[in-house]
């Protein structure tokens, strides 16, 4: 299936903001929404964003309906996820690939949004792994500018430089991945994006080293790592054993090095992507080139047309 790239988003265009996962924290949202409004015209329902039903931003039916409405909205040129958390897996089987393909527009998110980005890739539509609105306001200007550039220009571009070489070499393929824990939950389901010949990328937050090892074991046993053309790893945030733990453990990055260092494909570490102080936007499902020797990741085409 040829990749469908949504139309570029012009400055001043209307965009939709949705909360398909957890409820949104108003203080964190305010700064990101202000920044978003300086570039586009964001539309959202405060009750839908800030209302909570347990750890969710409303019932499954409500969150699905709001997401589908944003995708269908003829005036919204893009869809921004307000916050991650948990919840997209609960409604993922009801996100119609035909709807995504019939109304192609850039969908921006990460973390729990990995599920939604994977659905886009399964539907053959490019998306953007980038900051949620609650994160947007605290990112450096270069990361915000990188997001806007991906939304507004179809040009190939350098995505990351200065990556650490773990396994040298060069490879190209569609870029898919996301949060390591969330991505692993897609294995064995119809939601897993195409991984044959792909450049995989991952980031993680809050998982201890032994759990990260277990996640990589799962990917390995499922044959995902063997089918990839290359791997990029981003940030590890709050992934160490607690100080009071009596368990002897390697660090999280040592686990990543050991697991990915076994692969026979190019591998690079240190991408400024994830839950930390940086989150560089990446085109999801789009062909990229990883030069692990030079430490670069290059988009061979844009996320938009």
Q: What is the pLDDT of residue 244?
A: 79
Q: How many CB atoms lie under 10 A from the CB of residue 163?
A: 24
Arithmetic mean of pLDDT, 29-58 = 96
What is the C-alpha to C-alpha distance for residues 216 and 230, in angstroms, rounded to an integer? 15
Q: What is the dihedral of CA 178, 259, 165, 203, to 10 degrees?
A: 20
Domain count along the chain: 2
Q: How many CB atoms lie under 10 A from the CB of residue 239?
A: 21
Q: What is the pLDDT of residue 243?
A: 81
Specify the CATH number for the domain of residue 223: 3.50.30.60
Determine the structural domain holding residue 104 and report its residue range: 14-152
8 domain-assigned: no
Strand partners, 288: 173, 299
pTM higher than the cut 0.95:
yes
Q: What is the pLDDT of residue 2?
A: 84
- The catalytically annotated residue of 21, 111, 172, 184 is 111
Tokens for 1, please give them: 């299936």
195 shares a domain with 81: no
209 shares a domain with 87: no
- The catalytically annotated residue of 203, 204, 207, 289 is 203
Whether 275 is catalytic is yes
Ranges of H-type helices in 38-132: 46-50, 60-72, 88-91, 97-102, 114-123
- The residue assigned the tokens 């670069």 is 296
DSSP-derived letter for residue 16 is E
Max CA distance (Å), the chain: 56
20 shares a domain with 146: yes
Confidence band (pLDDT; 50, 70, 90) for 1? low
Q: What is the pLDDT of residue 248?
A: 83
Contact 295/163 with Cβ under 8 angstroms? yes
**Domain final residue pick, 136, 152, 168:** 152
141 shares a domain with 128: yes
pLDDT in tens, 100-158: 999 999 999 999 999 999 999 999 999 999 999 999 999 999 999 999 999 999 999 99
Arithmetic mean of pLDDT, 218-223 = 98
73 shares a domain with 135: yes
Contacting residues for 160 by C-beta, under 8 A, at least 6 apart: 232, 271, 272, 273, 280, 296, 297
pLDDT in tens, 263-290: 999 999 999 999 999 999 999 999 999 9
pLDDT in tens, 224-253: 999 999 999 999 999 999 887 777 899 999
Strands of the sheet containing 287-291, edge to edge, are 157-160, 296-299, 287-291, 170-179, 199-205, 230-237, 267-269, 164-167
- The catalytically annotated residue of 152, 181, 275, 289 is 275
């Amino acid at each position: 299936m040829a990749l469908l790239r949504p139309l570029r988003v012009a400055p001043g265009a209307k965009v939709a903001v949705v909360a398909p996962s957890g409820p949104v924290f108003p203080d964190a949202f305010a700064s990101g929404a202000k920044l978003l409004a300086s570039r586009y015209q964001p539309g959202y329902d405060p009750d839908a964003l800030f209302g909570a039903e347990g750890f969710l931003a409303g019932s499954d039916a409500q969150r699905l309906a709001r997401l589908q409405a944003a995708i269908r909205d003829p005036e919204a040129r893009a869809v921004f996820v307000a916050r991650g958390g948990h919840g997209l897996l609960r409604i993922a089987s009801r996100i119609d690939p035909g709807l995504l393909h019939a109304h192609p527009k850039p969908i921006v998110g990460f973390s729990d949004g990995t599920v939604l980005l994977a659905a886009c890739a399964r539907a053959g539509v490019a998306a953007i792994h980038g900051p949620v609105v609650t994160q947007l306001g605290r990112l450096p200007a270069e990361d915000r500018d990188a997001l806007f550039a991906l939304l507004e220009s179809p040009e190939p571009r350098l995505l990351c430089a200065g990556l650490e070489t773990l396994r040298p070499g060069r490879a190209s393929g569609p870029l898919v991945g996301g949060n390591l824990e969330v991505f692993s939950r897609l294995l064995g389901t119809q939601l897993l994006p195409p991984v044959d010949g792909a450049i995989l990328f991952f980031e993680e937050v809050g998982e201890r080293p032994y759990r990260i090892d277990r996640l990589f074991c799962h990917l390995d046993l499922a044959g995902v790592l063997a089918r990839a053309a290359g791997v990029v790893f981003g940030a590890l945030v709050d992934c160490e054993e607690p100080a009071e733990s009596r368990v002897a453990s390697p660090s999280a990055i040592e686990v990543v090095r050991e697991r990915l260092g076994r692969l026979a494909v190019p591998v690079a570490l240190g991408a400024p992507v994830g839950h930390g102080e940086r989150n560089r936007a990446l085109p999801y499902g789009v062909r990229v080139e990883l030069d692990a020797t030079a430490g670069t990741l290059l988009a061979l085409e844009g996320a938009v047309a």
